[in-house]
Every structure is written in structure tokens, then in C-alpha cells.
Chain A
Amino acid sequence: MTIPGILDTACQQGFLYAIAVFGIVITLRMLNWPDLTVEGSFTLGAAVLAITLKNGYSPWLAMLLSAMAGFAAGTATFALNRKLGISKILSGILVMLILYSVNLRIMGRANISLLRIPTLFSAFDSSGIGDPVRLAVFLAIAVAFLLGLCYLMATRIGLFLRATGDNEFMVQSHGVNTSLLFLIGLGMSNALVAVSGALVAQNQGFADIGMGTGMIITGIAALIIGETLFSGLVSLKKAFVRRSPDKEFARTKGIHLLPWQSFGELSAALLGAFLYFLIIAICLRVGLAPTDLRLATGILVILGIAFRLKGPTVETYMRGKL
């Protein structure tokens, strides 16, 4: 694979998988709920899309159904935990397990080819539009989701979603039913993951029963890489840019705070997804066997976490230098 080829693969996969990583940010970072349902809902999105397209329906309808199916998967996990009292982790594992059979039932077999079936990306194939335009469209899709979620998190409902993961008790004391917020959060997260699965299936031209396997660790790896790099960039800015008193005053009045709180987390997810697939493409380029990719991913996550916990921060490094 050439360098442009590596970049092309990293961008294509990174931008589409970033939507799933946004979903993982909502559960893992905002709701403080490590949700393993995503392993099944990613494939569920692809399966629902494939079977809907196969039956001759519009790709837009297929995308909508995929999102709804993902939301339903999140609702199932919510119900197991909040209504039956099963732990968060086990609820996710159970739904993931059930979804494997459900996905096979939906697809009827382990793999459905989408070749010669109109998809959202068919225009790129038929009109001969090149990869740069395809990449620009993928980036635009990812950025649209990022901005939409940033807006949502800057609203009151978004603020309460983040507060629920932080201190559920406190949110209840404000008269809010936190169960409803968990339902919204889990449903939305799995809907995003399912939409990502549906987009990936259209891009690669098939839906496969195994395509969601390892999704949670892929998402966490992307998140850790993105957050490590993003926090580094923020510290770098802090090390060089001194805040003026006027800006400090603006900050004390709360100006411009809310919309950017989630922007950092979500941008880190997008950046991390791209970098994760870039690293994977490079690993394959240097001769790593595809079967060793899980090992590489695991090591990557460990290194990312270790660096954040034990490594030097840019601020302390710069303080030593300046």
C-alpha cells in the first residue's frame, strides 16, 4: 500500500467509524456507562440497512431504520439494567449476545453483498467521481454529526445528560427522572453506532455478521489516542498562550463555556478515529499480519493510557525548557 493509499484508507474508515466513537463518548464519557451493546448494534445497523436495500427500498429509509434499530438495542440494555437490576456491564454483554442471533435472523445469512444495489455512495461509483470527493463527503458527514452533537450537548437536555453520568443523585434532586435520561443517552449512542455500521457497510459494499466484533475496543482505542493528543495540544496552548485579564473576566461570567465543553471530547474522538485507522494501515503496510491487529490495538490502548497516567505533560516539559 502506498502512502496516499494508507491515508485514503485511514480517512475513509476513520471518518465513518468516528460516528460510532461519538456514540461511545456519550455512554462511556458522559453517562459513565461502559456499554458493550455497541458490538451488536454496529452490525445491527449494517444488517438492517442491507436487508432494507436488498428489498428495494430507499437508502435514506434504510438509514432511518438502522438508527431506529440501534436505538431499540440501547433501550433493551437500559431495560435490563434499570428495570431488572442487572449490572450495566452484564446488560450490555447480554444484549450483544442476543443481537448476534438477531442479526443473523435479519440477514438470513452471515454476509450480504451490496454490489449493484443503489446505496448512498453509489454516485461515487457510477459517475466516476474520485476518492478526494468521497473523502470530503465522509469528512462532511462526520463533522455534521460532531457539530450536531456539540449543539445538543450545549442545550439543557445535553447538560442534564452529562450531569447524570457525573452525579445521578444530584440530577434527581433537581426533580429530573434520570432513568429517562439514561434511556435517551443509551438509545442515542446505539443509534449513532448503528448509523456508523450502516455507512461502513455501504462504503465497503457488504454487511457481515462479524463486522461489529471488537467495536468497543476500537472505539476506546480511538478515544484514548484522540484524548491523549488533544490534551497535549491544549496543554501546549496553555504553555505558550497567557490569558489576558479581559478574557479571564469573560470566563468568570461563563461566556463561551458551554458549547466548547463537549467540542473537545468529540473532536478528540474524530481525531482519534482517524489516527487509529492510520496506525492500523501503517501496521499492515509494514507487514503485520491481519490476525495480529487485535494485539496491536490492545498494546496501543495500554500505551495511550500509560502515557496519560505516567508520561510527562507538555506543560511540565515546557516549564523545564523555558
Chain B
Amino acid sequence: MSEAPVIELCDVTVVFNEGTPNEVVALNSISLSFAKGETVMITGGNGSGKTTLLRAIAGTAPLKRGSVHLCGRDVTKWAPHRRARFMSYVYQDATLGTCPNLTVYENLRLATRQPWWSLAPQALSISASQLDLLEKTGLPLAAKAAAPVSVLSGGQRQALSLVLAYSQKQPIVLLDEFTSALDESVEANMMRFLRTTTEENSHTTLAVTHSPEAISEIASRRVHLNMGRVRND
């Protein structure tokens, strides 16, 4: 018997500005499922619905019709923060994925899997697994643990976002054009990071990208969207 999918979208339709002259059907009756450990590349032109697909899974794009199941649970009516217990999200804009006025260390503490309401004092060191992830980025992030995130470069911030996403050890990782603002050397670092982390773990990773060649070597499947519909799978 095959394993139940980690992500299951049934007849998902997302419409923005409904009933106005600016109405846009961002996703049109999409039905997709993703298995455990799959690394899927989501491609398509501008406005094809790639980011909306991730947002529909994360719960930040309201569904007009359809349902979303994560890890076997119907989460269609769940708020984004509840769904986030199953997933990590890395945004195209690195500023969205980190707290700029907190230090690198404090950002890393946020991503540990402990209840947020704990009144116990925080551990005063970075965990070994997080240090390992920091080293895998190939950037000197560990040496900047005490610095506020606002002083990091864009590439370093995006690398930190990736580390935060993977250190949460969630079953699902959503990557939204996370290399689009990076130069070639940093992008190569990020790809090396992704390759080693996906090999070592069994996350289901959905990566939206405009440059399929960069991610093709780690992706096991490609979903191509056009005008809110699946064209190739």
C-alpha cells in the first residue's frame, strides 16, 4: 500500500479581486499531491500561479473552492499560523523571513521546536544541529551570531532564512524563488546547502523557480503552471 501524500490539493481555486474589473483567477481547479521526501520544482511564467500555489498551501491565499490536506489532515479552514506547524516557508524577499532587529542567534532560537509560551530561560548557545546548518551555507554566519540581522547582506539573510526553515524540522518546506535576488556564488552555496540537507532528511520540498536549470539536479519532479492550471507534471 502506498504512503498517504504529505500535501494534497483537491480542486483548489483562488480568485483575487472577485467581482471587480480586476478579477484574476490565480489558480483554476488545481488538484495535486506530493509524497514524503519529494523535491518538486514548480515552474511557469509570471502570473502563472506559482507563488499563489504555495500561498494556498500556507493558508495566506483564501480559497474560493477546493480543499487542502497536510499530513493527512484537512487544513482548509485553518489559520496560517496553525498550518505553519507542518511547514517552513522561505520567501523571495529575505527581509520577510528574518527579524532584522534581533541578532542572528536570537533568530535561530526562534526556530527551535519548543513551545513559545515557555518561561524557562533560553539556552545560551546555538544548538549543534543549527551550527551544522550554518556551516553548510558556506557563509560566515556563525561568526556573526551576536550581530543584528539588519547588518547582514541580502545573501547572508537569505541563507539564514534557509537555515531557519530547515532547523524547524517540519515535514514540508516551501521555497518561493529564494535565489532570485542572489548572485551566482551565493546561489551556488544555497544549492549545495539544499542538496546536502534534502539528501539527509525526508522533507517534502516545493521550490518555485524561474531558473529550472539551477534546481533541476536536486528536483525529482517538475510541475509546470500556466494561467493558473497545471500544464505539465
- A-side residues, CB < 8 A to B, are 151-152, 154-157, 159-160, 162-163, 166-167, 169-178, 181, 251-259, 261
Q: A170-B96, A171-B110, A176-B81 are in contact. Are A156 and B124 (CB under 8 A)?
A: no
Stretch at the interface among B68-76, B115-123, B200-208: B115-123
Stretch at the interface among B10-18, B41-49, B98-106: B98-106
Q: A156-B117, A156-B120, A173-B89 are in contact. Are A258 and B106 (CB under 8 A)?
A: yes
CB closest chain-A residue, reference B111: A174
CB closest chain-A residue, reference B59: A172
A174 adjacent to B145 (CB under 8 Å): no
A252 adjacent to B146 (CB under 8 Å): yes
CB closest chain-B residue, reference A259: B121
Would you list 29 pairs from A and B whose C-beta atoms are within 8 A, ordered by A residue? A151-B121, A154-B122, A155-B121, A156-B114, A156-B118, A156-B119, A156-B122, A157-B116, A159-B102, A159-B110, A159-B122, A163-B110, A166-B99, A167-B98, A167-B99, A170-B96, A170-B110, A172-B84, A174-B168, A177-B79, A251-B146, A252-B146, A254-B124, A255-B125, A257-B106, A258-B109, A258-B124, A259-B121, A261-B106
The residue that B145 contacts in the complex, of A151, A152, A178, A252, with Cβ under 8 A, is: A252
- B142 at the binding interface (Cβ < 8 Å): yes
Q: What residues on A are CB-neighbors of B85 within 8 Å?
A: 175
The prevalent SS among residues of A at the interface is: helix
- Going nearest first, the 10 A-B pairs with the smallest beta carbon separation are A166-B99, A175-B84, A254-B105, A156-B118, A175-B85, A251-B146, A167-B99, A172-B81, A160-B116, A163-B99
Identify 17 new A-B residue pairs, CB closer than 8 A, beyond the known A159-B122, A256-B124: A154-B121, A155-B118, A156-B116, A156-B119, A159-B110, A160-B116, A162-B106, A166-B102, A167-B98, A173-B88, A174-B84, A174-B110, A252-B144, A253-B126, A254-B125, A258-B106, A258-B109
The residue that A166 contacts in the complex, of B101, B117, B144, with Cβ under 8 A, is: B101
| Max count, chain B CB within 10 A of own CB: residue among A151, A172, A251, A261 | A172
Q: What residues on B are CB-neighbors of A173 within 8 Å?
A: 58, 80-81, 84, 88-89, 97
A259 to B116, CA, bound (A): 17
Q: A156-B120, A166-B102 are in contact. Are A172 and B109 (CB under 8 A)?
A: no
Report the interface size for chain B: residues with CB under 8 A from the other chain: 42
- B143 at the binding interface (Cβ < 8 Å): yes
A172 to B41, CA, bound (A): 25
- B-side residues, CB < 8 A to A, are 58, 79-82, 84-85, 88-89, 95-103, 105-106, 108-111, 114-122, 124-126, 142-146, 168
Q: What residues on B are CB-neighbors of A152 within 8 Å?
A: 119
CB closest chain-A residue, reference B118: A156
Q: What residues on B are CB-neighbors of A154 within 8 Å?
A: 121-122
B102 adjacent to A163 (CB under 8 Å): yes
Q: What residues on A are CB-neighbors of B84 within 8 Å?
A: 172-175
CB closest chain-B residue, reference A164: B99
CB closest chain-A residue, reference B142: A252
CB closest chain-B residue, reference A174: B110
Q: How far is the CB of B1 from chain A (nearest CB, A)?
A: 30
Q: A157-B116, A251-B146 are in contact. Are A261 and B124 (CB under 8 A)?
A: no
B99 adjacent to A170 (CB under 8 Å): yes
| Max count, chain B CB within 10 A of own CB: residue among A170, A176, A177, A254 | A254
The residue that A169 contacts in the complex, of B79, B96, B108, with Cβ under 8 A, is: B96
Q: What residues on B are CB-neighbors of A169 within 8 Å?
A: 96
Q: What residues on A are CB-neighbors of B81 within 8 Å?
A: 172-173, 175-178
| Max count, chain B CB within 10 A of own CB: residue among A154, A171, A257 | A257
Q: How far is the CB of B165 from chain A (nearest CB, A)?
A: 9
